[in-house]
């Protein structure tokens, strides 16, 4: 299974990046940086949430219903006339459900690394979250996911399966950030440490930030 970062490098990913960039008025390369950092973090948070039967059931319900992947069938329409408020409101709900009280810290950390203020990061993520859910919904239906182990397996596979400890703790660190800035150095260190590997999130982030 291709990982979520492979998706961002695909034609679909490029459409998503340019569409999100256009609809939020944010520089395309910064939008790409935000999504590269944020999508694995959101998926890691979903994986955490799906570790309980209730969390897994809630996520599966969303993926088989509203977020079944149909949003991906008309991205041109989604971005063409400007993303409507309904999509953004939906994205906002997804973020607060998935990240909970970590949302502000996550947005601040990613903003500091991408060179954007946290409200710009929030705008990007509001548009991207329903699209990410659509990607997961499509994958869940193609792989006939209908159990807790199935959904956590799907998320783990998209995250790259056998992540290195560095990458796992990198995602955990961002998720546990309180936005006071102290975690940034740790995260930067992990990106540097992870960039020696042949790929994965650490290597990819290291490449993006020119480390």
> Mind listing the pLDDT tens digit for each residue in 158-208?
887 555 566 667 788 888 877 666 665 555 555 444 433 334 444 444 444
For residue 127, report the phi and psi dihedrals to the nearest 5 degrees.
-75, -35
Residue closest to 167 by CA, chosen among 27, 32, 3, 12: 3
d(CA 176, CA 71): 30
Q: At what angle do helices 118-142 and 148-158 cross, to 10 degrees?
A: 120
In the chain, the percentage of residues whose pLDDT exceeds 70 is 80
Instruction: List pLDDT tens digits, range 38-62.
Output: 999 999 999 999 999 999 999 999 9
**Taking a C-beta distance cutoff of 8 angstroms, is the pair 35, 20 a contact?**
yes
Indicate the average pLDDT of the chain.
83
């Amino acid at each position: 299974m291709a990982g979520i970062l492979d998706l961002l490098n695909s034609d679909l990913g490029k459409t998503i990046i340019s569409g999100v960039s256009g609809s939020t008025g944010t520089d395309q390369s910064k939008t790409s940086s935000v999504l590269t950092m944020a999508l694995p973090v959101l998926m890691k948070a979903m994986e955490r949430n799906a570790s309980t039967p209730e969390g897994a059931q809630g996520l599966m319900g969303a993926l088989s219903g509203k977020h079944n992947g149909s949003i991906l069938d008309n991205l041109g329409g989604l971005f063409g006339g400007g993303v409507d408020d309904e999509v953004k409101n939906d994205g906002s709900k997804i973020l607060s459900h998935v990240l909970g009280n970590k949302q502000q810290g996550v947005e601040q950390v990613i903003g500091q690394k991408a060179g954007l203020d946290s409200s710009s990061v929030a705008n990007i993520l509001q548009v991207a979250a329903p699209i990410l859910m659509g990607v997961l919904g499509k994958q869940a239906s193609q792989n006939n996911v209908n159990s807790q182990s199935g959904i956590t397996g799907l998320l783990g596979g998209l995250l790259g399966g056998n992540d290195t400890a560095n990458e796992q703790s990198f995602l955990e660190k961002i998720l546990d950030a309180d936005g006071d800035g102290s975690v940034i150095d740790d995260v930067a260190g992990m990106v540097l440490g992870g960039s020696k590997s042949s790929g994965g999130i650490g290597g990819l982030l290291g490449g993006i930030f020119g480390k």
